[in-house]
Chains A and B, each alone.
Chain A
Amino acid sequence: MIIPYKYILKKTAAFVAVLYGAITLNFILPRLIPGDPAETVYSTIIREGGGSVSPRYLHQLAAEYGISNAPMYVQYYNYLVDLAHGNLGISVAFFPEPVSYILYHALPWTLLLVISSIAISFFVGNRMGRYAGIHRNSIKDLSMDMFAMFMASFPAFVLAFIVLDIFALDIKLFPIGGAYSIYVNPGFNIPFIISVIYHAVLPVLTIILTSLGGWELGMRNNIIPNINSDFISYSENLGFKKYQVNQIAYRNAILPNLTGFAMSVGLSVSGVIIEESIFSYPGVGLYMITAIDDLDYPLIQGIFLMVIIAVLVGNFIVDILYGFFDPRIRQESE
């Protein structure tokens, strides 16, 4: 096997550059937002307790939340140093828990949902697109396309509520929320794993239903030009069986969909964040909703950063694998 060194090097450089950009963006964005966490807490105290708060207390609060009036470049330097040490500040909504602690418990659940839903919908969607493309302009094709388009056009969160209502409340086939049953021991044992899968079915199903359409339509439109191309006629004339010919066309057509992965990871994470709050799944999305409601900027910032890093790393891995799959990509970069 040839290892595409140059390609990997190029991708790594791009990865580092984008990561640095995202980290910097994460530094700038909260500073554009008027108000700071100390002010939020302060106004809550005023609202709930009445009276006024002494300036000394306000300063103490500000210090606790790590707000400084230092020049921007000093703040930026401190931010990078803190980040390198894994210090993401202290949450306002879940005071006094550090943001990194919350993320440590929430991120694995989100990753579980994202990875399983992307994998399943990529596989099923491509297969459906292949089927539709091979039988193109037939009633099979039309019904598949219509299904895909309808699923892509229905508001995802309404679909989630309908699914929740039918499967969890009416038929009581699946649990209403949570990531695992309270009767099992978290750890690497079979009842726990079964319980986790059982609780993940509904959220994953909803995300798959809404993201299937893009893959299906993309695959259909990719495979049709391939089926009409000369190398397919050639292999037909060589006497390949129908499914073998289709397999060749499919392999060629799947490449653009693989590059579409970068887009889809971001989209799936968006979907997962919404679904988690609906299915009360203890992932990042559930905390994000709370954080937005309470204007908990350290937590928002931490979630933002962690999700972006996760998405970037995922993309990076796909990119590297892609270099191994497709020789044309390797040649382009050399």
Chain B
Amino acid sequence: MKMEEQEVIKDNKSLLGKIINPLKILLSNGKAKAGFIMLVALILFAILGQFFSPYNPTKYEFARGMPPSYAHLLGTTIYGQDVFSQLFYGAAPTLMVGFAVGVLGTLISIAVGISAGFASERVNTVITGIINIFLIIPGVLLIMLFGSFFLGLHQSLGYLPTILILIITGWAFGARTFRSITLSIAKRDFILSSILIGESRLSIIFRQIIRAIFPVIISNFFFTAMYGTMGLTFVEYLGVGNLLQVNWGTMLYWAINNEAYLTGMWWWILPPSFMISILMFSFILLNFGMDEIGNPSLRRFKSKNKNENKKIIGDLDVNIEN
């Protein structure tokens, strides 16, 4: 037992250990494991797609609206593009938007949420009010408004406007979560003792609070990335994105605008839908798994004995608090 502990501590100090240990925790959960495998597979798919897409995804060079065949695994579009190439090539931008929105949105919500939770009562009220405004306003309306604002700029800026719109509309939920969790953690004894020792606020935030809420941060990242992916499809569907770029959102836009669902061209509309669905699914599974890691009472224990379960839960609680 002691040897193991020492090993863990040693592992923690090396850089590799810092990466591998959280992964081990993540993979100990069945749901998170399934989501992680799906996500890694999709990332591989996206990277390969940049190099090995069988045809040029944007070129109109084939017979129009062909059903799937050996030469065209998923048929062709009504414009004569190869659907599989589009799906393969469009994976990377879709994932990129999802991840960018996830990372940047989470950073903003951490900054806003923690400062609200740690600030004076009055500042807290004001920030909460702002968060509530953004929470309450229906996202689609903001996407439409900002989207039409950026409409002329898409050519030169690539995916930047889309990511920006999605961050503006997507940060508030996480900020609310971080605010309430910071409020509850700030009352705990170990924070109080740090304040009494004379640790500076910044150091408390970075060394204590961020560490304590780390599972929530990861879970929120997956949630925001989910929003980013779904948001991308909405931006493209509403026509306020750049429709010349190839991603799963624009594929859906063109398929729907050419009434692929009416003409029975399922090979055009269903593959991007299912790929988005798989990506979202992996994010949801990871989010769910992180919830279980952060909230031990949701966890599944092999032992059927209730008392033993409670003991394990107690141990884990202590671990998380430390």
- A interface footprint on B253-282 (CB within 8 Å = 1, 0 otherwise): 000100001100000010001001111110
Please name the residue on chain B nearest to A314 by beta carbon: B136
Measured CB to CB, the nearest residue on chain B to A265 is B136
Determine if A149 and B139 form an interchain contact, defined as CB atoms under 8 angstroms apart. no
Q: How far is the CB of B268 from chain A (nearest CB, A)?
A: 11
CB distance from A313 to the nearest CB of B (A): 11
Report if B11 contacts A (CB, 8 A): no
Q: Are A155 and B233 in contact (CB under 8 A)?
A: yes
Contact status of A292 and B144, CB under 8 A, knowing A149-B281, A266-B138: yes
B149-A304 in contact (CB<8A):
no
Return the CB mask of A263-289 against B: 1 if under 8 Å, else 0: 101110110011000000000000011
Partner-contacting stretch, out of A21-29, A46-54, A96-104: A21-29
Q: A300 touching B144 by the CB < 8 A rule?
A: yes
Contacts of B285 in A (CB 8 A): 149
Using a CB-CB cutoff of 8 Å, which residues 280-319 of chain B contact chain A?
280-281, 283-285, 288, 291, 295, 297-298, 300
Report A-chain residues with C-beta under 8 Å of the C-beta of B103: none
Cross-chain contact of A17 among B129, B141, B269 (Cβ < 8 A)? B129
Smallest CB gap from B141: residue in A:
A304
Contacts between the two chains (Cβ within 8 Å), count: 130
B84 on interface, CB distance cutoff 8 Å: no
* A165: chain B residues within 8 A (beta carbon): 261-262
Does B62 belong to the interface (CB within 8 Å)?
Answer: no
Please report the C-alpha to C-alpha distance between residue A71 and residue B278 in the assembled complex, in whole angstroms. 52
Residue-wise, chain A 292-306 has the 8 Å CB interface mask toward B (1 for contact) of: 110100001001100
Considering only residues 126-159 of chain B, those with a C-beta below 8 Å from chain A are 129-130, 132-133, 135-141, 144-145, 147-149
User: Out of A22, A154, A162, A300, which one reaches B137, CB within 8 Å?
Assistant: A22
Complex alpha-carbon distance, A300 and B234, angstroms: 18
Any B CB within 8 A of the CB of A174:
no
Q: How far is the CA of A267 from the CA of B261 in the complex (A)?
A: 26
B284 pairs with A307, CB closer than 8 A: no
Return the contact of B252 from the options A149, A155, A293, A311 (Cβ within 8 A).
A155
Cα(A304)–Cα(B141), bound, Å: 7
Closest to B248 in A: A155
Using Cβ atoms and an 8 Å threshold, which residues of chain A touch B237? 155, 157, 274
Given contacts A153-B281, A225-B298, contact A18 B141 (CB under 8 A): no
Distance A221 CA – B133 CA, assembled complex (angstroms): 27
Does the CB pair A266–B139 fall under 8 Å? yes
Output the nearest chain B residue to A153 by Cβ-Cβ distance. B280
From known contacts A150-B281, A161-B256, A169-B262, infer whether A270 and B140 are also in contact, taking CB-CB under 8 Å: yes
Partner of A25, one of B133, B148, B283, B284: B133
Kindly state the separation between the CA atoms of A32 and B273 in the bound complex, as whole angstroms.
35
Q: Does A217 contact B (CB under 8 A)?
A: yes
CB pair A312–B136 under 8 Å, yes or no, is yes
Q: Is A111 on the interface with B (CB-CB < 8 A)?
A: no
Q: Is B204 an interface residue (CB 8 A)?
A: no
A225 CB to nearest B CB, Å: 4
Measured CA separation A273–B234 after assembly (Å): 12
A217 touches B273 (CB 8 A): no
Q: Is the CB of A29 within 8 A of B281?
A: no
* Inter-chain contact A224/B298, CB cutoff 8 Å: yes
Beta-carbon nearest neighbor of B255 in chain A: A158
User: Given contacts A224-B297, A270-B139, are A155 and B277 in contact (CB under 8 A)?
Assistant: yes
Report the separation of the CA atoms of residues A29 and B147 in the bound assembly, to the nearest whole angstrom: 12
- The one of B140, B230, B261, B262 in contact with A155, judged by C-beta atoms closer than 8 angstroms, is B230
Tell me, yes or no, whether B88 is within 8 Å of chain A by CB. no
Q: A152-B284, A158-B269 are in contact. Are A18 and B136 (CB under 8 A)?
A: yes
Residues of B within 8 A of A311 (CB): 136-138
Expressed in whole angstroms, the Cα–Cα distance for A33 and B298 within the complex equals 47
Decide: B256 and A150 in contact? CB cutoff 8 A: no
Residue of B nearest to A151 (CB): B277
- Chain B residues with Cβ below 8 Å from A25 are 133
- Is the pair A315, B136 in contact by a Cβ cutoff of 8 Å? yes
- Closest CB-CB distance, B45 to chain A, in whole Å? 17
B140-A300 in contact (CB<8A): no
Chain B residues with CB under 8 Å of A221's CB are 291, 295, 298
- Nearest to A284 among chain B residues (CB) is B141
Measured between beta carbons, the chain A residues less than 8 angstroms from B252 are: 155, 157-158
Given A224-B298, A225-B298, A270-B139, the answer on whether A18 and B148 have CB atoms closer than 8 Å is no
| A152 to B256 Cα, complex, angstroms | 20
**CB < 8 Å neighbour of B261 from A22, A29, A161, A269:** A161
Q: Is the CB of B141 within 8 A of A225?
A: no
Say whether B89 faces chain A, with CB atoms less than 8 Å apart.
Answer: no
A-B contact pairs, 11 of them (CB 8 A): A157-B252, A224-B298, A225-B295, A262-B135, A265-B136, A267-B138, A274-B140, A288-B141, A300-B144, A300-B148, A311-B138
* Ranked 10 nearest A-B pairs via Cβ: A153-B280, A270-B140, A269-B138, A225-B297, A270-B138, A158-B273, A161-B261, A153-B281, A266-B138, A153-B277
